[in-house]
Structure 1
Amino acid sequence: MNRGGQAFFVYNRIDGLYERADRLQKLLPDVRIAVAHGQMGEGPLEQTMTDFIDGRYDVLCSTAIIESGIDIPRANTMIIDRADTFGLSQLYQLRGRVGRSRERAYCYLLTPPPSTLSDEARSRIEALERFTELGSGFKVASLDMELRGAGDLLGAEQSGSVSLVGFDMFVHMLEQAVAELRGEEVVADFDTEMTLPMEHYLPDDYVDDVGLRLSLYKRLASARDEERVHELAVEMEDRFGPPPPPAQALLRVMALRPLLREYRILGCEADERRVALHLREDTPLDPAKVMRLVGQPRSPWKLTPDMKLTHHRAADDPNRLDGVDHVREVLRVLPSLCKDT
């Protein structure tokens, strides 16, 4: 009020809404307070909203009925009581009701003690704190779908099990199903097993919540390309700070997985001297080109009977590469070995 604006107080249960409005009125006797909710008659509700828009009230106590379709530039403050009971997209929409002018806006979330919140509720609150920049709507919607599950695309069920596979994997599975319906070739999915002599994991003191760590591992493992891994790296640094060495190594390793899958590589063993790639039978590599490569005099490349393509670096090679960089060096050669299209 001191900033010359208006405020929303949001509580999503009608039976406690008037009680809260009365308590606010006792605390702020000079403030003009109105109440709005969906069970009011159309006429009284419209009149209340009109009066608030016209500035006849300072505070509007309401349910989530205001989450969309309301544009009140003078409203610069929102307090959401029991924010832990709202969905993530709902919180995001509500927050967007303030700050629609040049005046800086504030949105306060009231919750029980964090220790009493469920992991899902805590994740929703943390996400709202994290996604503050313009254009965050898609990120919020994606995370919301992952947290609560998605409904059937063509059915009546309104909750799903996206959280069991992650949103990225869910989208990938959906793309595969659509491709099958269109009669397009669908390559069976698989996981690439990687063995590298370096510590690559998320330390407990970096991400202390077990559920969050598992979620991040799952999202990294299901990333379909390097860009997605980079986006997750940016998100992690924003949430938890600069990653320690083991987490940095994990991001480097996980960025290799989409590239290895592209060449249908089942397994990858690597260190600074040797890389071994276990190829699937449906690899896009041309057998004739591979044989020419390994057949060159003093070639560092070998192909074993069990379809392992290996690359050895000489012991006196002055260029010291760790396992990840050695794999990248090998991957730069593979495009030239692919079958002609």
Structure 2
Amino acid sequence: REKEYLRIDYQVPDKLLVPTEQLDRIQKFLSPSDAPPTIHRITGGEWQRSVRAAKKGAEELARELISIYAKRTQVTRPPFGEDTPWQQEMEATFPWVETRSQEKTIREVKRDLDRPYPMDRLVCGDVGFGKTEVAVRAAFKVAQEGKQVAVLCPTTILADQHFETFRERLAPYPIHLSLLNRFRTAKQRETSIRGLKDGSVDIVIGTHALLQKKVEYKNLGLVIVDEEQRFGVKHKEFLKGLRANADFLTLTATPIPRTLSMSMMNLRQMSVINDPPPGRQAIRTYLRPYGDDVVREALLRELARGGQVFYVFNRIDGIEHVAERIRKLAPNARVAVGHGQMTADELEPIMSAFFHGEVDILVSTSIVENGIDNSNANTLIVDGADKLGLAQLYQLRGRVGRSDRQAYAYLLYRSGKKLTDTAIARLKALQEFSDLGSGYSLAFRDLQIRGAGELLGAKQHGTMQSVGYELYTQLIADAVSQLKAAFDDGGETAARLTAVDLGAGPEFHPLPAFDVPAAAYLPNSYVEDQNQRLFFYKKLMEARDEEHVAEVEAELIDRYGPLPEEARAAAKLVRLRLFAQELGIGKIDGRFGKLTIAFVNGRELPLRIVHELGRRQRDLKYRPDRAEWRYGNDALESVESFLDLIKGQLQEVANIRAART
């Protein structure tokens, strides 16, 4: 019989062969950095030490989350109630059609505001998918009730952009808006701070200038934070203090990993806006060797339609020479340079000029990957794209395509230079995933890892690097669920006194082991690509109910055509393992021409059933914890009929007991 194995190489000379039916026990090590992971011996103690540190970090984080959650549940405030006529009127003037997920998010935010305790909601959405409109509607609803709103942005440019949006949307209403950042004059800043203290300012939009100690609010009701992960530790601590009393709405464009979001779901509400606004077109992405003619054509085409261009060269050394070359290729264009070694005072005016259309081509390092929302910039050229990570490239590409115009991204590498396999795979992935909202697709796992690191903070990020993203997020999920259960039963004191037991790792429910002679695998001739075969093996072996097995079968048929006999047998094997688990069986061994079934401790069969099975299966040998018998030509068929027999007998016994009671 044929069987496929996955070979795992540990520190030399250790190796491990894992049969494909046990791939649900294998996790891919995903690191939040590009550094290769440390490889350990199977028998060494280094890995255990890393896991112990990870468990400690997971528990600390879980306790911190529960503590914030506990404080919030003790605070009450009057609900904000139904929408006012002004609210309905303002929302009706929205110039676009709301997408389905945007509408759902708005409903969820309003539902939170209608509860008697503060909201803490995280809104994730790809760049340009309408998160700001959600913020505008929430802010207006709160401001109408006489409460103040603070909108916190990581950069001055974003603060300016939000201020313009809010002012435009709320202009017809008696709402006093104020902008607070370091480009305001001392007198303007003083007026804003005084207005917040005496209550004459309803909505303030600003940078971390809002987090100064001298900024006091008369009646703060809602804090909206754009890209919270981009604020420093001190600022985050300050925000934690505000979070206990005010309603909180956080916006982020970084995809948050599902495992982490599920563990935090109970503690912090989450909404995802994942469908693009109507009319938005996917970005056309080209992967090319660098050439002056390619760059000139791309620049002139964008400038001819009155647009602007991002030109990214990610080395400060030589960026001025690059800008000079761009000036020669497009002599009539206004070119500016921006990079991370400039002071904020030097950089902000350049970014602001680009935003206001006073610069045609911005030559910069990857600092533009966050923070500029310019719907008139619809061409991105990345010079040396092979040197950037997938997450960086994806965020950079999100700078263009913010309107209904066709946007273009050119990923250029130096010709004659041999690209590594990793670089080619990364660039091709980006080229293939040009769909809108693809930041949330499975292929962008490294983006999600970045999301996890940013959500958890620097300290947790380091721990995650030592044991991998999947294991660490599972440990957090486990710790949070234990503490949350204690909190629900006995409040904060019970949660504080509860000892978190992460045991040998996150909760893991493997299916019963099957070593049965059967041709149950995905043939090379059916799924030729080895990575795809591995992907489907893992997906199939991770299925924990009939519905998921059927889904994997449907996906295979959709991609590769009708299932061959061996693939049908592989799916049947998973179904039998699920059936065996339901009956309390831990292992089935089919070597030496006989089948041996081992029962899980405490799930042994009653004697009455054993006698009946012996009557039906003449060669059956039975001990309290196992059963053994010889099988015919088809081992899987033999296992299935015996499991059916056990199930029927168990059902009969259950019926007799039910009749007696």
TM norm structure 1? 0.65
The alpha-carbon distance between structure 1 residues 55 and 116, as it changes in their structure 2 partners (threshold 3 A), is same
Q: Which moved more, 1:128-137 or 1:77-86?
A: 128-137
The answer on whether the counterparts of 1:10 and 1:79 sit within 8 Å (CA) in structure 2 is yes
- Structure 1 residue 64: deviation in Å? 1.4
Residue range with higher mean Cα deviation, 184-193 or 39-48: 184-193
CA distance 1:115–1:41, shift in 2 (3 Å): closer
Is structure 2 residue 427 aligned with structure 1 residue 125? yes
Counterpart in 2 of 1:90? 392
Aligned counterpart, 1:280: 600
User: Could you tell me whether the CA contact under 8 Å between 2:513 and 2:577 is conserved in 1?
Assistant: no
Using the TM superposition, give the Cα deviation of residue 57 of structure 1 relative to its aligned residue in structure 2, in angstroms: 2.5
Which residue does the alignment assign to 2:174?
none
Structure 2 counterparts to residues 75-114 of structure 1, below 5 A: 75-111=377-413
1:200 partner letter: Y
1:136 aligns with 439
Structure 1 window deviating more from structure 2 (198-207 vs 71-80): it is: 198-207
Question: What secondary structure sits across from 2:358 in the alignment?
Answer: coil
Distance 2:645 2:457 in 1: 41
Deviation track 1:244-296 (CA, whole Å, cap 9, x = no partner) reads 859955973685598369546544568xxx987544336xx563399379549
Q: Shift of the alpha carbon at 1:63?
A: 1.3
Quote the Cα distance in structure 1 between the aligned partners of 2:649 and 2:424: 49
Aligned to 1:182: 500
Offset of 1:97 from its aligned partner?
1.3
Please, which moves more after superposition, 35-44 or 212-221? Answer: 212-221
Task: Find 2:367's aligned residue among 53, 65, 69.
Answer: 65
| Per-residue deviation, residues 290-314 of structure 1 (Å, max 9, x unmatched) | 9379549647996843845689999
Counterparts in 2 of 1:171 and 1:115: CA distance versus 1, 3 Å: farther
Deviation, structure 1 residue 85: 2.5
Higher relative contact order (CA 8 A, sep 6+): 2
The structure-2 alpha-carbon separation of the partners of 1:173 and 1:261, relative to structure 1 and needing over 3 Å to count, comes to: farther
TM-superposition CA deviations, 1:83-118 (whole Å, max 9, x none) = 232233222222211111111222232246796314
Instruction: Give the alignment partner of residue 198 of structure 1, picking from 519, 524, 529.
Output: 519
Aligned equivalent of 2:311: 9
Secondary structure of the 1:160 match is: helix
> Could you tell me how far apart the structure 1 residues matched to 2:361 and 2:511 are?
55
Aligned partners of 2:534 and 2:309: how far apart in 1? 36
Match of 2:277 in 1: none
Q: TM-score, normalised by structure 2?
A: 0.38
1:27 counterpart residue number = 329
2:524 maps to a residue whose letter is P
Give secondary structure in 1 for the equivalent of 2:462. Answer: coil
Equivalent residue of 1:38, what SS?
Answer: coil
Shift of 1:71: 0.7
Q: Please, what is the CA RMSD of the aligned residues?
A: 5.4
Q: Which of 210, 215, 223 is the equivalent residue of 2:542?
A: 223
The percent of aligned pairs where both chains have the same amino acid is 26
- Deviation, 1:62, is 1.3
1:305 matched to 2:627? The reply is no
Aligned to 1:116, which of 419, 443, 448? Answer: 419
The 8 Å contact of residues 13 and 63 in structure 1, kept in 2 or not, is answered as: yes
Opposite residue 370 of structure 2, the aligned amino acid is S
Please give the alpha-carbon distance, in whole angstroms, between the structure 1 residues aligned to 2:381 and 2:521.
42
When residues 138 and 205 of structure 1 are mapped into structure 2, their CA distance, relative to the original with a 3 A threshold, is closer
Long gaps (5+) in structure 1: 316-320
Distance 1:331 1:22 in 2: 78
Report how far residue 37 of structure 1 moved.
Answer: 1.3
Alpha carbons of 1:327 and 1:67: their partners in 2 closer, same or farther (altered >3 Å)? farther
Provide the C-alpha distance between the structure 2 equivalents of 1:89 and 1:323, rounded to a whole number of angstroms: 45
193-202 or 18-27: bigger deviation:
193-202
DSSP 3-state at the match of 2:374: coil
In 1, distance between residues paired with 2:407 and 2:569?
38
SS at match of 2:382: strand
- Distance, in Å, in 2 between the alignment partners of 1:154 and 1:85 is 27
For 2:345, what is the secondary structure of its paired residue? helix
Name whichever structure is richer in helix by fraction: 2
Aligned partner of 2:350 in structure 1 is 48
* 1:300–1:312 contact (8 Å) kept in structure 2: no
Contact 1:197–1:323 (8 Å) recurs in 2? yes
Contact 1:66–1:94 (CA<8 Å) still a contact in 2?
yes
Equivalent residues in 2 for 1:217-256 (5 A)? 219-220=538-539, 223=542, 225=544, 242=560, 245=564, 252=571, 256=575
Matched, 1:291 2:646: no
Post-superposition Cα deviations, 1:162-207, rounded to whole Å, max 9, x if no partner, equal: 56xxx55554455456667535898676575444622524739955
Q: 1:112 to 1:154 in 2, by over 3 A?
A: same
**Which entry has the higher C-alpha Rg, 1 or 2?**
2
* Distance in 1 (alpha carbons) for counterparts of 2:648 and 2:372: 54
Gaps of 5+ in 2: 1-301, 483-498, 655-661
**In 2, distance between residues paired with 1:335 and 1:73?**
66
Preserved contact between residue 233 and residue 251 of structure 1 (Cα < 8 Å): no
Instruction: Please say if residues 169 and 222 of structure 1, whose CA atoms lie closer than 8 Å, have aligned partners that are also in contact.
Output: no
Contact preservation (8 Å) 2:335, 2:361 = yes
Q: Which amino acid aligns with 1:281?
A: N
